[in-house]
Structures are given as structure tokens and as C-alpha cells.
Amino acid sequence: MTRTITFNELRRVKDNLPSGSMSKIAQELNLTDETVRNYFGGHNFKDGKSCGIHIEPGPDGGLVMLDDTTILDYALRIIDEHMELAHTSHH
């Protein structure tokens, strides 16, 4: 499933991921860590693949067209779980 979001939104998702999430996503989806980093705007294509993101110039860092939202969906799920854990551990 394709999706368009701003580059800054994509970076916010990355920045909100708990430590170790990149490796966890890579393991779960059978990808390299670098491929997952590249998805979030990294540019190390020597060790990882470009994974179907296309960036168009524009406001808020530009528009990012994601050919496949699997990594994004997984990242959002990790953030949701992390937020729920943080919320429930304070009660």
C-alpha cells in the first residue's frame, strides 16, 4: 500500500522509536539495519537497499511517497506499544 507523508513526519516517527527499534524492525521483516535506516531518510545504499521511498521537494522537508508502508506500520506499532507501556507503568 502506498502512502504520502512529509519528510519531517517520517523523521518524527524515527525519532520517537525506542532504542533498538531499527534492529528489531530489521529482524522481524528480514531486512538489514541499513535498509530500515534508509527507509527513514538515511542514504547508506552501500550496505542497505533503497526501499521504495521517493522524495519530492516541498514544505516540511518535502513529500515522501512510500511504495510500501510495512516498515512505517511496524514502527508506528512499536511506538504505540512503547507509549502504552510508559503510560501503564506510571499507575
Indicate the pLDDT class of residue 51, thresholds 50, 70 and 90.
low
Indicate the pLDDT class of residue 12, thresholds 50, 70 and 90.
very high
Question: Tell me, what's the pLDDT at 23?
Answer: 96
Q: Which residues on neighbouring strands pair with residue 5, listed in sequence order?
A: 64
Question: Tell me, what's the pLDDT at 46?
Answer: 54
Mean pLDDT, the chain, rounded, equals 85
- Which residues 6+ apart lie within 8 Å of 80 measured at CB? none
Report the predicted TM-score, pTM, of the whole model to 2 decimal places.
Answer: 0.80
The Cα–Cα gap between 9 and 34 comes to: 20
Q: What integer is the mean pLDDT of 24-36?
A: 93
In this structure, the number of other CB atoms found within 10 A of the CB of residue 59 comes to: 9
Higher pLDDT, 41 or 46: 41
